[in-house]
């Protein structure tokens, strides 16, 4: 089957976006992996599917698949690309979209210069909602990784995240600690891992090891999680510039029981089509 797609990127976090409303398809895990493969397929961090709205309360559905073929609950950079795609191809003229994801409904607002603000919902720190296999909620959780004792924060932004502070992100052991924390037995659905260097209460540097993907140039939900944890622990302000290897995002969060907002850019890279064996 010949499938039309659009390649998009947000701060270097790249996506293959497929409209399954105009071309009804159902992709298997192996087909997702083939699409995402940078040598044998198109190549991307994640495959995003635009679907019909599952209820009258939302405008569209949005499914997210990692390179390994597993489905993710949420993706902030992908959400901005999703909104850009909808307006770029004239699927809606609304400036504010409500979109259903596996992690819940999110609100996307179009700004100027191809920027999009995403209402990411209320950060969830309850370990059962992350999920995280500890007995009680805490600001800091001690873990052992690579035979070293560290303290992390944990939060769900629609998908699970752990966050730890490091003196310098350029020398942080992302390649070693990332995989170990990603598959730590206390995270039954695995976890995204954020390494944060505090510049000031309004500015941080961040590297993220994404679950099912590895380190990426940017991670929208990772930026949100870093600010949520930092603010919850008392070392970040309400408005924070988050600098990732691929670029910067602006995160605002008023605190407990309030939604968190993320603003950043997105870009259409190219359009194309790929032929897949739909029997596999």
pLDDT means per 10 residues, the chain with 280 residues, are: 95 96 94 95 96 96 94 91 96 96 92 90 96 97 94 96 98 97 97 98 97 92 97 98 97 96 96 84
Would you state the pLDDT for residue 280?
A: 64
Q: Is 75 a catalytic residue?
A: yes
Domains annotated on the chain, with CATH: 2-120+266-275 (3.10.310.10), 127-258 (3.10.310.10)
DSSP 3-state of 21: coil
DSSP 3-state of 106: strand
Tell me the sheet residues that pair with 62: 50
Please check whether residue 15 is in contact with residue 78, taking contact to mean a CB–CB distance below 8 angstroms: yes
**SS3 of the chain: helix, strand, coil, percent, to 5:** 20, 40, 40
Q: Which two tokens stand for residue 218?
A: 């940017």
Would you state the pLDDT for residue 112?
A: 83
Q: Looking at 44, 162, 219, 224, which residue is catalytic?
A: 219
Q: Looking at 44, 75, 81, 162, which residue is catalytic?
A: 75
Other beta carbons within 10 angstroms of residue 175's beta carbon come to 10
Q: Is 162 a catalytic residue?
A: no
Q: Counting beta carbons within 10 angstroms of the beta carbon of residue 130, is it exposed (0 to 12), middle (13 to 18) or buried (19 or more)?
A: buried
């Amino acid at each position: 089957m010949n499938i039309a797609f659009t390649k998009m990127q947000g701060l270097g976090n790249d996506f293959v976006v497929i409209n399954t409303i105009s071309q009804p398809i159902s992709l298997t895990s192996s087909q997702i992996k083939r699409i995402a493969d940078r040598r044998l397929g198109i190549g991307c961090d994640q495959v995003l599917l635009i679907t019909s709205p599952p209820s009258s309360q939302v405008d569209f559905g949005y499914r997210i698949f990692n390179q390994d073929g597993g489905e993710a609950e949420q993706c902030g950079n992908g959400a901005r690309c999703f909104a850009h795609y909808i307006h770029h191809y004239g699927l809606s003229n609304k400036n504010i979209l409500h979109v259903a994801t596996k992690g819940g409904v999110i609100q996307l607002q179009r700004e100027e210069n191809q920027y999009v603000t995403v209402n990411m919902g209320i950060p969830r720190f309850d370990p059962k909602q992350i999920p995280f296999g500890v007995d009680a909620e805490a600001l800091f959780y001690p873990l052992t990784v690579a035979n070293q004792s560290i303290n992390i924060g944990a939060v769900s932004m629609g998908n699970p995240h752990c966050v730890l502070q490091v003196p310098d992100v350029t020398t942080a052991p992302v390649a070693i600690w990332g995989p170990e924390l990603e598959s730590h037995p206390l995270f039954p659905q695995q976890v995204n891992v954020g390494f944060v260097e505090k510049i000031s209460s309004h500015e941080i540097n961040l590297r993220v090891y994404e679950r099912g993907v590895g380190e990426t140039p940017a991670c929208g939900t990772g930026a949100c999680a870093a600010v949520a944890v930092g603010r919850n622990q008392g070392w970040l302000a309400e408005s924070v510039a988050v600098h990732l290897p691929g670029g910067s995002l602006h995160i605002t969060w008023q605190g407990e029981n309030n939604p968190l907002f993320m603003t950043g850019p997105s870009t259409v890279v190219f359009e194309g089509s790929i032929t897949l064996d739909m029997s596999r």
